[in-house]
Amino acid sequence: MRRSYFNMSLAICLILLAVSLRILPHPANFAPLAAVSIFGGAVLPRRLALWVPLAAMVLSDAVIGFHSLIGLTWGSYVLIALASSYLLRKPSFLKGGVLTLSSSLFFFVVTNFGVWVASGMYSHTWSGLVQCYTLALPFFRNTLLSDVIYTGLLFGTFSLVTKANYKHLKLLVQTNN
């Protein structure tokens, strides 16, 4: 029972973090959604982990405004959480770093392809596709930076808190014996 309470509390905190940092003023594409997806996938039960980015996107888009690429953005974050739930069950710095970089690139490729297909801003030619990705590069820089920073903060904070609690619990057990 305690573990499910912890998992639900952590999920709610992650959702609130993602929604608030997405709604508050921030540089374009500098939001913790991929980091929350990666972290949630690594530490939460899979079903709950998949709902965290989806709930965060629904709530924040309800405030910011819905758009035509919802399926791609929401789906990308759910797939990132799913990948994390498989690849980071035994996390390591290397696996986390590779997944973070891959997630940033995946989101960039998928969502900008969607912009090219659906927006009407670019001609549906090879040069139009190249132009779409080229003009999106400044946004990718912010996406990558935010993904690396927020993922590092989430895993680092979690590691510090769990180690501190473990040491505190170990000290209590030793004192009581």
- What six digits make up the tokens of 54? 């989806």
Tokens of 166: 């473990």
The average confidence (pLDDT) of the chain is 91
Instruction: For the domain covering 2-176, report its CATH number.
Output: 1.10.1760
In this model, does residue 1 exceed pLDDT 70?
no
CA distances to 62, 85, 115, 125, 146 from 141, rounded to whole Å, are: 26, 25, 18, 25, 9
Tens digit of each residue's pLDDT (9 = 90 or more) over 107-122:
999 999 999 999 999 9
Q: Which of 22-26, 90-94, 113-117 has the lowest mean pLDDT?
A: 90-94
Alpha helices in 24-125 (DSSP H): 33-43, 46-64, 70-87, 93-118
Instruction: Tell me the domain boundaries of the chain.
Output: 2-176
Write the pLDDT tens digit of every residue in 134-147: 999 999 999 999 99
Q: What is the pTM of this model?
A: 0.90
Cα dist from 108 to 48, 147, 157, 168, whole Å:
25, 12, 27, 42
Residue 162 has pLDDT above 90, yes or no: no
The 3-state DSSP class for residue 30 equals: coil
Going by pLDDT thresholds of 50, 70 and 90, the confidence category of residue 174 is very low
